[in-house]
Each structure stands twice: as structure tokens, then as C-alpha cells.
Amino acid sequence: MTLELSLSHHFETFSLQVDIQASPGVTALFGRSGAGKTTVAQAVSGLLTPQQGRITLAGSVLFDRNLGINIAPNKRRIGYVFQDGRLFPHMSVAGNLRFGKQFATNPLDPKNEQRIIDMLGLGHMLARRPGTLSGGEKQRVAIGRALLSDPRMLIMDEPLAALDTGRKAEILPYLERLRDEAALPILYISHAMDEIARLADTLVLLKAGRVMRAGPAVDILADPAAVPFIGVRHAGAVLMATVMAHHTDGLCQLSVSGGMLHLPGVTAPVGEQLRLRVLAQDIILATARPQHLSALNILPAVVTSLRFGDGPGVAVGLRVGQEQLLARITKRSANELDLSEGRQCFAILKATTVSRDSIGQ
């Protein structure tokens, strides 16, 4: 099921003009506040009527200005998870879930309903009122309510932005399960790259109402040219790693296509596939294999592209095995090492720089 949209909408202070194709899986819209992310989400859900454009979902037209088609939000069957939850305060958790189910075109059978309640861990809070739930619990109920309305796709508009780091870490695994278990296209809106790196299959970078980059998340996250839009401190590629062994000294051995990594803090069982976000600023480059070094992880790499920024930094795209990696070093280092496209080098990753939050399923 594919979402295709082409919109233009002018506000007093900025204008939005975007063309986006979202394939099945998680499509993340990334951008700063005011980039137009929520406007896109609201246009897709029908809560906002764009001035120009066309939106189709799996071939059916939701909105077409020229044809005069504008399906009402309550007829679009698009689940929407808001940043602020928006649970109905006068209903219990069960009541909120029932509200979602009540208007479903094809209500889920009790087995699937129970599966969603289990997946989100809602079973023990059904009798409670929204006012007594924590922020993370509220968001889980909001997700469950949206799923029970039997949507054709799901929009998640900054679902974690109102939560503190602890709650965020608690709810991210639920979102990963949702991505893998529910066969729904998800439009995921966020200004937090750590969430996107863990969840997104496709990534769309928005800036001031325009699409800067769009494509597979692993490619864009590893693209030196995308660094200015992501921000130098948040740029970093994602590697697919398989858990090979847990060593007695607390390190976990992981296999990536370019070699082996040893990292602390991994609890996933042997054989599990993980998404590993490696920040560009955490990588050191060397043109010869270094020795007598405390850093544990040294992967042979080939420079694929270089992007010199306006400041003292350079973003270096690397190929490591079949995968891509992104490193950020200084211009001085790049010149001294004489880095250029095609140059063989070694990417060095200090084990303790990969935080627990950067490891996803």
C-alpha cells in the first residue's frame, strides 16, 4: 500500500510544497520545528485542506483539488497518533479503545484485538482513567486506539516528543514491534534522529516546507550530502548487525557485513538482528591499521565520497563490506591523510561510544 502526495499550501509566514511517495513500512518525515511536517500529516489525515494538490492511498484518491475530491477525515481510515495523546478524559482506557473499534469499517476479531492489547502491554490498565496514566502509557493507549479503528495506514506525529528519555526508551521497543508485526504503512514524524534511525525504512528530509532528500533511510543516513539537513552532531549511518556471542567480560560480539564489532550493553539473544546507529562524530579514520590502540573495533573501509562543510569539518562516506558508514573528521585530518574517493582506510569505533539508545531491533 503506497501513499502518494503532492501538495502546496501557503501560510502567512511560510509555504509548503512537497511531493512524497511513502512505500510500505515506516516512512519518516524529519525536519526542525516549522519545517512543515505536521502540515503534511494533517493534510494526509484530512484535518487540514491543502490549497493545491493530490493525495492517494493505495490508488484511491483521498484529496484532489482539481477533481474537487476531499474525503472527510472520518472516512479516510487513517489512524493518527498525536504528540499529546488526546485520550478522551471521560472514558476509561477500555472506553477509549472501544471508541476506536466502534467506527471501524471491518472491526477486528477478538483474537487480533487481544494481540494488539498484548503487543502494547495495555491489559493491566484497561479500567484506569487517562488522567492516572503516565505519558508513555497514554501514548501506548493512543496507539492501540488508532490500531483498533482498523486503519489503512498510521500517522504518528511526534509520538515521543513529549516524553522524557526514560519513557522514550520504554516505548521505542513497542514501536519496533508495531513496525514488524502490523503490516501497516506508517508515516512517522519526528525531529529526533535517534528515533528515526531505529525505526525508519524510508526517510524524507524536510526543510522550510521543501523536500531536501528522500529515499531509503540507510542510504540517506550515510550520505555526506545530507549531513547539513540532519545536523553534524546527529548524523550517523545505520548498520545491520547480528548478535554472534556474549563474552564473559560484558562485551557482545556482533557481525556486520564489513567484519566483527565488540560492544557493551547489548542484551539481545544470539542470532538476533539489530539496527546499530553509529554517529559520524564517533568514528576515527586511519590510513594504516593502527596498533597499540584501546579502541576495539577496526573495520576496513573504502572512501566513497567527501563533503567539505563551511566550517572546519568534512563528512566522509565510507563503504564497509556491503554497507555504508559515515564519518566526520576535520579538514586538516582529511588533508594530512590525503583522503579522496576510492582510498582504502580503516574506520575505528570506540566500543563505549555506542549508547544503549542507539541499538534497536
- Which is nearest to 302 in space by CA: 265, 344, 243, 359? 344
Based on CB atoms, which residue is closest to other proteins, 27 or 45?
Answer: 45
- Which is nearest to 146 in space by CA: 125, 110, 120? 120
Residues 104-163, interacting with other proteins (CB under 8 A): 104-105, 129-131, 145-146, 149
Give me the least distance between CB of 88 and other proteins, in Å please. 6
Q: Greatest CA separation found in the chain?
A: 70
Give me the least distance between CB of 80 and other proteins, in Å please. 4
Burial of residue 284, with CB atoms counted within 10 A of its CB: 0-12 exposed, 13-18 middle, 19 or more buried: middle
Q: What character string, x for contact with other proteins (CB under 8 A) and - otherwise, covers 84-103? A: x-xxxxx--------xx-xx
Output the CA–CA distances (angstroms, integers) from residue 43 to 56, 64, 101, 154, in the order listed.
11, 11, 23, 13
Output the CA–CA distances (angstroms, integers) from residue 310 to 207, 232, 283, 307, in the order listed.
19, 12, 20, 10
3-state secondary structure of 219: helix
Ramachandran area for residue 66 (φ above 0: left; ψ -120 to 50: alpha; else beta) = alpha
One residue of 75, 177, 247, 289 binding other proteins per CB under 8 A = 75
Q: Give the interface segment with other proteins, choosing from 6-14, 75-83, 245-253, 254-262 (CB under 8 A).
A: 75-83
* Cell numbers linked to 228: 547539513
53 binds other proteins (CB under 8 A): no
Give me the least distance between CB of 189 and other proteins, in Å please. 14
Give me the least distance between CB of 149 and other proteins, in Å please. 5
Give me the least distance between CB of 350 and other proteins, in Å please. 45
Based on CB atoms, which residue is closest to other proteins, 139 or 358?
Answer: 139
Based on CB atoms, which residue is closest to other proteins, 45 or 304?
Answer: 45
Q: Which stretches of the chain bind other proteins, using CB under 8 A?
A: 45-47, 72-80, 82, 84, 86-90, 99-100, 102-105, 129-131, 145-146, 149
